[in-house]
Amino acid sequence: MRLRFLLIGLISILVRPGSFASAQPAASPAAAPEVRKAAARPTAGLSAERLKRLDRVLQQYVDANQIAGAVALVLRDGRPAYEGAVGWSDKEAGRKMAADTIFRIASQSKAITTAAILALVEEGKIGITEPVSHFLPSFAKTTVAVRTNSGVNMVPARRPITIQDLLTHTAGISYGTEPLVAPLYEKKDLGPAAGNGWYTADKDEPICATMERLGSLPFVAQPGEAFVYGYNTDILGCVVEKASGMPLDQFIRTRITEPLGLKDTRFFLPAAQRERLAAVYASGDDGRIVRAPEGSKGQGHYVDGPRKSFAGGAGLLSTARDYARFLEMIRRGGALDGVRILAPRTVELMTTNQTGALHSATGLGFGFGFETVDRYGAKGMAGVGAFGWGGAYGTTYEVDRLSHMVIVLMIQLMPNRTDIQQKFSNGVYQALLN
Q: Show the beta-strand stretches assigned E in 281-422.
A: 281-283, 289-291, 317-318, 335-336, 339-340, 364-366, 371-373, 387-390, 396-400, 405-410
8 Å CB contact between 68 and 42: no
Give the per-residue pLDDT at 36.
Answer: 82
- Taking CA atoms, 318 is separated from 216, 256, 323, in Å, by 33, 13, 6
**Which residue intervals of 47-123 are DSSP H helices?**
48-63, 109-122
* pLDDT tops 50 at residue 13: no
- Taking CA atoms, 174 is separated from 129, 236, 302, 329, in Å, by 20, 14, 24, 30
DSSP structural state of residue 255: I
pLDDT in tens, 269-304: 999 999 999 999 999 999 999 999 999 999 999 999
What mean pLDDT is predicted for residues 190-212?
Answer: 97
Confidence of residue 40 (pLDDT cuts 50, 70, 90): low
Q: Where are the domains of the chain?
A: 26-108+250-429, 112-246
The hierarchical CATH code for the domain 112-246 is 3.40.710.10
pLDDT in tens, 104-136: 999 999 999 999 999 999 999 999 999 999 999
8 Å CB contact between 109 and 117: no
Query: What are phi and psi for residue 154, nearest 5 degrees?
Result: -105, 120
Chain centroid to CA 394: how far? 10
Beta bridge partners of 317: 104, 266
User: Do the two domains 26-108+250-429 and 112-246 of this chain adopt the same fold?
Assistant: yes
* Single-letter residue type at 272: A
* pLDDT tops 70 at residue 18: no
Query: If residue 377 lies in a helix (H) or strand (E), which one and from where to where?
Result: none
Average pLDDT, the chain: 92
State if pTM tops 0.85. Answer: yes
| Percent of the chain with pLDDT strictly greater than 90 | 88
DSSP structural state of residue 414: S
Give the per-residue pLDDT at 434.
Answer: 87
9 by Cβ neighbours in 10 Å (0-12 / 13-18 / 19+) ranks as exposed
Checking DSSP bridges between strand 143-148 and strand 151-156, what pairing results, if any? antiparallel
The hierarchical CATH code for the domain 26-108+250-429 is 3.40.710.10
Query: If residue 147 lies in a helix (H) or strand (E), which one and from where to where?
Result: strand 143-148
Sequence-separated (6 or more) residues with CB below 8 Å from residue 225: 170, 172, 358
What's the CA gap between 25 and 18, in Å, rounded? 11
